[in-house]
Structure 1
Amino acid sequence: MKTVTLEACKQLLTRYESKGNDFPYSIFTADEIWVYHYDLELRSQSLGYHHSTSPRKKKFRTQPSAGSCMLTVFWDYRCLTWQEYMIKGKKINSMNYVKTLKWL
């Protein structure tokens, strides 16, 4: 692990020496997060006909459904540059990242 980190640092230093002070502006970074789907109930949907003496319905917190997907976000020094939702069932691997990075 140390040799990989050291090699990455050497590459960054070499790029800095060739590009100068513009080098930090060419850096992109990314992060991933699981995004869950919610099926929210509208207030009008929860209202139903009831008698004035009938007890009130108890409300429970909405739980995330089984639906989820991976959201990958890319940004540079200025702003968010790209967001990508991983299709359910698609493998998250280096080939997908290489494809996205080439596109960026």
Structure 2
Amino acid sequence: MVVAAVGRVDLISEAPLREQVLDACEEDTVKRFVVVDLTGVTFLSVGSAPLFLRAHYHCLHRGRLLRVAVPPGPALHTLQLTGVRDVVAVYRDLPSALQSETRSPW
């Protein structure tokens, strides 16, 4: 299951992304992974980064794993700066995040 975001993600624009990610974690399906595709994100605010920590634990609680696809750039920098990258599985691109046995290259 993939949830994609494009453009800027900040405290004002994060609500729809948060709802979609949490809904994906709760969906009644046999899918093991919820992948958040940030490859089209040009800015990720530090204040929005905790969204991925909450989603990570929300998914774990429901037997799913959260993965984030994010290329080098501002969004990855925010995930590194806030420590989210140390907790959540982060991948360089969407195809890598979708592979079932791929370990995070970061």
- Considering the TM-score relative to the shorter chain, is it more than 0.5? no
TM-score between the two structures when normalised by the length of structure 1? 0.22
* Bigger Cα Rg: 1
The structure with the largest strand share of the pair is 2
TM-score (norm 2): 0.22
